[in-house]
Amino acid sequence: PFRENFDAIEAYARDVWAAENVDACDLDSDKPKRYVLGMFPYPSGNAHMGHVRVYAISDAVARLSRFRGFETLHPLGWDAFGLPAENAAIQNNADPAEWTQRNIATMKDEQFSRLGLSFDLDQEINSASPEFYKWTQWLFQTLYDHDLVYRANGWVNWDPVDQTVLANEQVIDGKGWRSGAPVERRQLPQWYVRITRFAQSLWDGLDTLQGHWSDEAIAVQRGWIGRSEGVEIEFPVLGEGGHTIRCYTTRADTIFGVTSITLAPEHPLVKDLAATEVQGKVEEYIAFATNRSELERETAERTGVALGAKARNPLTGEDLPIYISEYVLGGYGTGAIMNVPAHDARDFDFARTNGLPIRQVILPAKDAPEGDLDEAYTDPGFMTNSGQFDGMSTHEAKHAIIDHLVEQGLGTRKVNFRLRDWLISRQRFWGAPIPMVHSDEHGWAKAPDLPVMLPKDVDFSQGSGKAMASAPGFLETTFPGTSDPAIRETDTMDTFMCSSWYAWRYLDAKNGEQAFRESRAEDWMPIDYYVGGLEHASQHLIYFRFISHFLHAIGMTPTSEPVKNFLDNGLVKLGGEKMSKSKGNVVIPTEAVDKYGADALRLYILADTPLRRDIDWDDSGIEGKQRFLSQIWTLAGQIASAPALEGEPAPGTDAEKAAMRELAKIAKEVAEDLEERRGFHNAIARLHSFVGELRPLVAGASDAEKPLLRHVMAEFMKVLGVFAPHMAEYLWREAFGMSASLFSQPWPDPGEQYLVADELTISIQVNGKLRATVSVPADAGEEQVVEIAKADAKVAEYLGSGTLRRTIFVPGRLVNFVVG
Ligand code: ANZ
């Protein structure tokens, strides 16, 4: 019985696959190709249900693709740099490389291996290996060559006790996670990637992904890139200095409602404009604001300081007080805004806090009364209190006002992006060393001779930001092309840099000469199906798309977009909460495999819940899948003992026809579910209904019918194999007696004829009146249908009463005889 033996069955199948190397991909194959990729895991040492979900999806698509004749690349690798390895190193005095290797071994050989995932491990990569990070460094230098890398001051979290920079997640309630000391914001020189140069191209590329990425994923990308169209308006400052303040706005239509101007605390004019008596307060406020994160600044109460200076509204001529406030960000637009309290929520709060007037210039309807606002009115409407623009719709007014400002030389049209350049310096050890050297005399240059190896035997006692410099012989070098002394950069790269290009490395994982051959990219990119969580739709997918746009621009990859179809999957929860160790609500994959088997686990994780929704784990669900597998086992056993079908299937009886129809249906529908509809849960439901249809057919089959039913059931193993590969492989060989691996077979294709119903019912009219209905073969043409209709006794009677003048035939529906 199946339930006592699933363990042995699964081990049997894995042995077969290993022996026959069925998961290998021939990267130079001439066949049509498919690249199926699940986002690579971080080697924490623990496989979790999130991994099971991602790779059950990618594996199903990969297996289907092989069945359907595609040379299929479905690789696995490790996103192996990052903090946990470094923390383990600091805490246990371990070597992060060894710690990482150990975790990879555990996850690969003890955990993932038991799930029966068809990864081609010949292309395995590890982003923390010198063979990989050499090319991450190459990528950095190539970006540098194209003027896409620069160095500038950036804000970091500084732990004054540990004397180190902290990642955001290491700052807990404003304090360093180890020292407990209040964290300071400091400006340090950092390396940046000029991703903003590709902002428009990244924005435009999203249009081509419509329908292939979820609307949500595209929306996250749009939000992150944040393209906005507006105008910069000049507000002259009153008094001597001859200053003007430029304010960026997307709502030129509200210019008559401006009641103050607010500068970011870091705006260059602040010190000039601050009146003597507020200078102390202003300095205090600047120190306060610059020490806060952008998120804090955007969500905090709307505090501010009036500078004592005024600016003039160029359209109304009014004098406006000038403030500073933290919610105006220094790095966006011009770092200065015109406040319209009546129509902007933040400005409304700011006006309330600072006692500024709130003037309504937009009404919800043309004759709506003006009243006191309880909150900002932010919707479109009709203009009021706006001089010559009164009565216009906001849409019309926006254009008219912008035109007017531009004509008068008071404003300039402007497109802005929220996207910022990518800060990639990390003052950390366990990352790819930034391959740059510096000399006081010559400045910065690319380090020659990549890779710049991560040093061994480093001292973490001074904090991980100093670890690299502590390694003997690392820091000091000579400036390239000279014998002058130089110092190596000791920062490492953000690990998002590794994941921004790893997809190309899989195409040429062992290449020692190049990151990858362009010909391989030509053959395999873009990725056909990319699987991973929506939480990666912001950072990772932005960086990944950016690198792809860049590689395309320099001719190394065939398309700017790297991912054709993005399958974003939901989480796996328990009791509605995300599984997490700290909450103690984790279901461990290997334990579920021990108890129910990998096939049951995989079926369960794909069933019932649509791809993008969260799954709420439920033991009874996986038990149900085990029972389902048991039924298949029994059914296959029953029919497999019948003699094999000789020759091609030629269904004659109703049962035989029904079985062929079920096979044709499931083969077509499951392929479409996975390839076109993201309907993994629907595909599993079809397995259930297939088995439900076949059981009575098998039970009631005559001996003559059995060979064909046996054939249908054997073919069904391919469909089952997409989701529950172990049992399918086992039955294929051991029950149905096949000798070659199931997974080198072609997808079932019994023929379109089985998909159409056998017979159709046609209405027969005489002079437009229904006189009879007849059954005709579904594939019958006009001639045959008319013949059958004429043979009907009732119809014949009507036809006999006059001369047949005309015959109208509507395929599949009716025949109308016109008799006169
Ligand atoms: C006046 C106004 C009236 C605005 C109104 C909005 C509504 P996006 O779409 O993100 O580009 N803004 C401009 N620069 C800013 C900065 N550095 N920090 C904080 N806010 C800034 O948003 C543009 C709008 O955000 C601009 O339009 C400006 O406020 C604000 F009823 O100007 B608006």
State if residue 297 touches ligand 1 by the CB under 6 angstroms criterion. no
What is the reported pLDDT for 298?
85
What is the reported pLDDT for 142?
98
510 is in an annotated binding site: no
**Whose structure tokens read 């529908």?**
669
pLDDT tens per residue across span 49-77:
999 999 999 999 999 999 999 999 999 99
pLDDT tens per residue across span 82-128:
988 888 888 888 899 999 999 999 999 999 999 999 999 999 999 99
Strand partners for 572:
615
Atom in ligand 1 nearest the alpha carbon of residue 328: 18
Residue type, 655: A
What is the reported pLDDT for 169?
66
The 3-class secondary structure across 178-246, one letter per residue, is CCCCECEEEEEEEEEECHHHHHHHHHHHHHHHECCECHHHHHHHHHHHCEEEEEEEEEEECCCCCCEEE
Of 337, 402, 415, the one to substitute when testing ligand 1's pocket (max ligand atoms within 8 A of C-beta) is 337
The fourth-level CATH superfamily of domain 227-417 is Valyl/Leucyl/Isoleucyl-tRNA synthetase, editing domain (3.90.740.10)
DSSP characters over 297-343: HHHS----EEEEEEEE-TTT--EEEEEE-TTS-TTSTTSEEEE-TTT
What is the reported pLDDT for 120?
97
What is the reported pLDDT for 524?
98
State if residue 289 touches ligand 1 by the CB under 6 angstroms criterion. no
Higher-pLDDT residue of 750 and 462 is: 750
State if residue 344 touches ligand 1 by the CB under 6 angstroms criterion. yes
* Cα–Cα dist 388/386, whole Å: 6
Q: What angle do CA 315, 318, 322 make, to 5 degrees?
A: 110
State if residue 338 touches ligand 1 by the CB under 6 angstroms criterion. yes
pLDDT tens per residue across span 721-747:
999 999 999 999 999 999 988 999 999
Per-residue pLDDT, averaged over 244-264, amounts to 98
Atom in ligand 1 nearest the alpha carbon of residue 331: 17
Q: For 759-819, which CATH class?
A: alpha beta
* Cα–Cα dist 270/279, whole Å: 10
What is the reported pLDDT for 502?
98
Per-residue pLDDT, averaged over 241-265, amounts to 97
Indicate the helix (H) or strand (E) that contains 13. helix 2-20
Residues shown for the chain: 820
pLDDT tens per residue across span 185-213:
888 899 999 999 999 999 999 999 999 99
**Residue 752 pLDDT more than 90?**
no
CA dihedral of 183, 188, 193, 198, whole degrees rounded to 10: 80
What is the reported pLDDT for 167?
67
Distance (angstroms) between ligand 1 centre and the Cα of 329 equals 10
Distance (angstroms) between ligand 1 centre and the Cα of 406 equals 19
Q: Whose CA is nearest to atom 27 of ligand 1?
A: 249
pLDDT tens per residue across span 492-516:
999 999 999 999 999 999 999 999 9
Q: Which two tokens stand for residue 90?
A: 């600091």
Quickly state the pLDDT bin for 663 (edges 50, 70, 90).
very high
Residue 706 DSSP SS3: helix
Domain 31-127+498-569, second-level architecture:
3-Layer(aba) Sandwich (3.40)
CB-count exposure of residue 124 (10 Å: 0-12, 13-18, 19+): middle
What is the reported pLDDT for 160?
86
pTM: 0.89
Per-residue pLDDT, averaged over 336-351, amounts to 97
Of 222, 224, 248, the one to substitute when testing ligand 1's pocket (max ligand atoms within 8 A of C-beta) is 248
**Residue 43 pLDDT more than 70?**
yes
Distance (angstroms) between ligand 1 centre and the Cα of 83 equals 37
Pick from 140-144, 425-429, 481-485: least confident: 425-429
Of 263, 328, 332, 346, the one to substitute when testing ligand 1's pocket (max ligand atoms within 8 A of C-beta) is 332
State if residue 251 touches ligand 1 by the CB under 6 angstroms criterion. yes
Q: What value does the mean pLDDT of the chain take?
A: 94
**Residue 332 pLDDT more than 70?**
yes
Q: What angle do CA 235, 241, 246 make, to 5 degrees?
A: 25
Beta carbons of 549 and 205 less than 8 angstroms apart? yes
Beta carbons of 302 and 317 less than 8 angstroms apart? no
What is the reported pLDDT for 746?
97
What is the reported pLDDT for 483?
96
Q: Which CATH number is correct for 592-754, 3.40.50.2300, 1.10.730.10, 3.40.50.1440, 3.30.413.10? A: 1.10.730.10
Strand partners for 818:
806
State if residue 302 touches ligand 1 by the CB under 6 angstroms criterion. no
Per-residue pLDDT, averaged over 754-773, amounts to 87
Distance (angstroms) between ligand 1 centre and the Cα of 346 equals 10
**Residue 546 pLDDT more than 90?**
yes
What is the reported pLDDT for 676?
96
Spans of all domains in the chain: 31-127+498-569, 141-194+422-493, 227-417, 592-754, 759-819
Per-residue pLDDT, averaged over 165-183, amounts to 79
Tell whether ipTM is more than 0.95.
Answer: yes
Beta carbons of 546 and 501 less than 8 angstroms apart? no
**Residue 1 pLDDT more than 80?**
no
Distance (angstroms) between ligand 1 centre and the Cα of 312 equals 19
Beta carbons of 697 and 773 less than 8 angstroms apart? no
* Cα–Cα dist 606/687, whole Å: 12
